[in-house]
Amino acid sequence: MGVDARALLSAIGLPAWLIDAETKKILGVNDAFASLVKRPVEALTGGAALELVDPQDRVREGLRLGLQLGSPLAPEANQPGVTRLVVHGGPSLRVRFTSTPVPAVRPHGRLLIAHEIGADERAMSSSTKDATPPPRPSESGSAKVDATKRPAKIADAARAGTEPADNRDERWRTLFDLCPAPTCVYDLASLQIHAVNEAMVRLYGFDRDELLAMTILDLVAPSDVDLVNSIVEELRRGQWPGVLHHPQTIRHRRKDGGELDTELIAAPVSYGDLRARLVLHKDVTEQKRAESDLVKRARIDAFRGDLGAAMTADEPLPAHFDRVVKAMAHHLDLESVGVWVRDEVTHQLHLQASVGALDRDTARGAALDFGDAWIGRAASSGAPVLLDMWDPAMSDDEVAQAQKACVTHVAALPLVVRKRVLGVITASRSSAFPDELVDILGATAAQIAQALGTAFAYEALRISESLSRSVLGNMPTAVVTINKAGLIETANLATVATFGHAVEELEGRAFATLFATPEADVPALAAQSRGRGLAEWKGLRKSGERFPCELRIFQIDSLRGPGYAAILNDVSERYEVERLKAEFVSVVSHELRTPLTALRGSILLLRGGVLGPLSEEVMEMLHIAERNSQRLMSLVNDILDLERLHKGKMKLFIEPVHAHDIVGRSLDSVKPSADQAGITIDVLGADEVVLGDGDRLVQVLVNLLSNAVKFSPPGSPVIVTTEVEHDAVVFSVIDKGRGIPPSHKRAIFERFEQVYASDAAEKGGTGLGLAISKAIVEQHDGTIGVESQEGAGSTFWFRVPRALASKGKVTPPSSRPRD
């Protein structure tokens, strides 16, 4: 805190001017000085000091001021001299100056106080004891000074040219008391304080009498007593004969217990018989605090800068951590710093980077477990751990380690991202962690955690990306990804093998070019596919060859936005195998039919008694043989029927036919077995006319009815209904049997599919009935299906076109050859 020059000048009753010893410019004058040299204050301020000095005296005065250059607080500061001043519009004026350095106002500032002397008074001999000390307060009585009246009185006396000694004392006392800087006089021998001014009383809070009962050491804070003692010793030895501007600040204490940092300027004075020092105190507490705050802030800023640079550098993580720990140790005054990162597999902490002894020592051992030691505890709890070596939680080993590293306080801060602890940063010091430092460490931990989290996520993404890439790339099935515009983005090796195009030829090409019949667009195909394969697609190889291709297409999200992925299965081999199988079965069936017919004929002849009467046992055996040959025959017929249906060789004789006629004929055929099982079959619904092949539709309904009878418990009902649905008639067979499990609802319409492997043996049947029924219904442009609840029964239905002709005009079924 600088002292206000104007306040200082106006407080001095004598003519006074303030000059800068370096530039020798006038910094300010008071009114008394202005009236002495008969010039206005403004005209004087800022001018060259020497211009006011009579030319005869300039050399001497210049030398006097010049001597002080670079050493404004040189010992000759208090040296008086007689100078002639140029007075505006009159003769030069002889004055004696007292010159005092005032660094509190300006580093090179000097306060010159003029004592006007008569024309007869020639140069006075200089005396270092000229600074007459103020009378002791006890002598002067009141410590209070009437600042408003005294200056005027002194100025008057000064102008009178004669100056009684009393007045001089009075003036000095006034100057001492009014000096805005806290000032005191103390005895160098006893260190007893002998005089203090108002400013001193105000600054320290002790009243004047308390201060006068103290030594200067009583005012010094315990931490600086040694320092002051050593300075006093030097002064006593005469090491500093002149004015001393202490290079170090000294910490003083106030009455209220507060401490303040002071800068001291001390000058030797005679005080009665005592060898005393006049001491000017400058309170620099705020300045020091501001400076240290500034330094702290600058260091934190520098740290943040370094940290930011470390985090954004294009380097692998370990290099980031190296930079971070170095920046932390350097800027935050830490003895050691470490970054520990959690291993995702072992869940242990591994030291990734460190500075300082403590963490290096720790790293020599195995990796730390979560919860182990103070570092592991921060990881397991997810909260910062701050400990000193006296804490009972510290183990002997840890204390020994810390002692070796010369640290007393340790901190571990977890690196947490979205409630997951990814690691820990550790730090140690030889003193406690201030709150502010803990805050900075916390913020740094958050920043590192963020970087670590991002790096982990990036790594996980990279691994998953490379995994999917290699799985896709090496899959034996062709997979392509397609963008919104229907262009191929990526293709795997199997695509190349299947279609014969190189990857580069495929990328960017329209997806449709992979097919011989590109009809539907990609989104439509995806909607149609919905997770299941689309059969009957004709793939097109680069060679121009066509092949059956099963297509599965679905929506995906890629980095380039939403798109599609397609799985393309070359099913030519499967088709070929199926064709061969079907061909084989059909050949075998054909070949079986003739011998089977002969076999059956022979059995029937035997049973008819052609070769004479047979015993009962033989008859029984022949009955079994006949039943089985009958089963074999119907299997052969079913296989051949199915083959004909698939090849489109089975001709249908489509005509209007009454639904009830179909139902009636079917019931006739099923009745014996239903009666045998004690099952009644009811018919519901109006008689509608359908357009179809009566015999074939009877075949379908018979199959459904005999299944219902076969798979229902004895005595349960079966219902047949017929109903109109728009342009179709729906036949339904409802039973209360065991029902169909959901997994088999589609499959049972395929060839040789039965719900249980035991069905063929236990219930009879071949697993071909529903496949034949489906083929027949579909040849009628109809549909077939089942609704069922397992254990509660099934409803098998088929829908065939309705004849829109009137019921009465139904033509009788035309006779046709049966094959």
User: Based on CB atoms, which residue is closest to ligand ADP, 171 or 751?
Assistant: 751
User: Based on CB atoms, which residue is closest to ligand ADP, 324 or 733?
Assistant: 733
Tokens matching residue 196: 């203090």
User: Based on CB atoms, which residue is closest to ligand ADP, 659 or 772?
Assistant: 772
588 vs 485: CA distance, rounded Å: 52
Query: Minimum Å distance from CB 765 to ligand ADP?
Result: 2
Which element (helix H / strand E) includes 349?
strand 348-355
User: Based on CB atoms, which residue is closest to ligand ADP, 340 or 749?
Assistant: 749
User: Based on CB atoms, which residue is closest to ligand ADP, 365 or 678?
Assistant: 678
736 vs 495: CA distance, rounded Å: 50
For the chain, give percent helix, strand, coil, nearest 5: 45, 25, 30
Instruction: Using alpha carbons, select from 281, 309, 14 the residue that is nearest to residue 174.
Output: 14
Query: Minimum Å distance from CB 769 to ligand ADP?
Result: 3
User: Based on CB atoms, which residue is closest to ligand ADP, 95 or 768?
Assistant: 768
User: Based on CB atoms, which residue is closest to ligand ADP, 482 or 770?
Assistant: 770
260 vs 188: CA distance, rounded Å: 23
Residue 667 CB contacts under 8 Å (≥ 6 apart), including other chains: 681, 683, 705, 720
Query: Minimum Å distance from CB 500 to ligand ADP?
Result: 41
263 vs 28: CA distance, rounded Å: 24
Place of tokens 């407080």: 11
Query: Minimum Å distance from CB 738 to ligand ADP?
Result: 5
629 vs 619: CA distance, rounded Å: 15
User: Based on CB atoms, which residue is closest to ligand ADP, 100 or 707?
Assistant: 707
Query: Minimum Å distance from CB 743 to ligand ADP?
Result: 12
Query: Minimum Å distance from CB 652 to ligand ADP?
Result: 20
Query: Minimum Å distance from CB 774 to ligand ADP?
Result: 9
92 vs 563: CA distance, rounded Å: 103
User: Based on CB atoms, which residue is closest to ligand ADP, 629 or 795?
Assistant: 795
Query: Minimum Å distance from CB 518 to ligand ADP?
Result: 37
The answer to whether 735 touches 746, Cβ cutoff 8 Å, is no
Query: Minimum Å distance from CB 596 to ligand ADP?
Result: 18
Judged by the rule CB under 6 A, the positions of this chain that interact with ligand ADP are: 703, 707-708, 711, 735, 737-738, 740, 748, 754-756, 759, 765-771, 794
Query: Minimum Å distance from CB 636 to ligand ADP?
Result: 14
Tokens matching residue 228: 């002051």
Residue number closest to ligand ADP, CB atom:
765
Query: Minimum Å distance from CB 787 to ligand ADP?
Result: 11
* Burial class, 818, CB count within 10 angstroms (exposed 0-12 / middle 13-18 / buried 19+): exposed
425 vs 355: CA distance, rounded Å: 12
> Phi and psi for 679 in degrees, rounded to 5?
-110, 130
User: Based on CB atoms, which residue is closest to ligand ADP, 93 or 771?
Assistant: 771
User: Based on CB atoms, which residue is closest to ligand ADP, 6 or 744?
Assistant: 744
Which element (helix H / strand E) includes 310?
helix 285-312
The answer to whether 466 touches 555, Cβ cutoff 8 Å, is no
Q: Is 582 helix (H, G, I), strand (E, B) or coil?
A: helix
CB-facing half-sphere around the CA of 428: CA atoms within 13 A: 29
650 vs 526: CA distance, rounded Å: 35
Query: Minimum Å distance from CB 657 to ligand ADP?
Result: 23
DSSP codes of every residue in 20-62: ETTT-BEEEE-HHHHHHHTS-HHHHTTSBGGGGB-HHHHHHHH
Q: Is 778 helix (H, G, I), strand (E, B) or coil?
A: helix
Which element (helix H / strand E) includes 666?
helix 659-677
The answer to whether 329 touches 355, Cβ cutoff 8 Å, is yes
Query: Minimum Å distance from CB 634 to ligand ADP?
Result: 9
User: Based on CB atoms, which residue is closest to ligand ADP, 332 or 709?
Assistant: 709
User: Based on CB atoms, which residue is closest to ligand ADP, 759 or 787?
Assistant: 759
The answer to whether 476 touches 495, Cβ cutoff 8 Å, is no
DSSP codes of every residue in 3-16: PPHHHHHHH-SS-E
Neighbours of 774 (CB within 10 A): 22
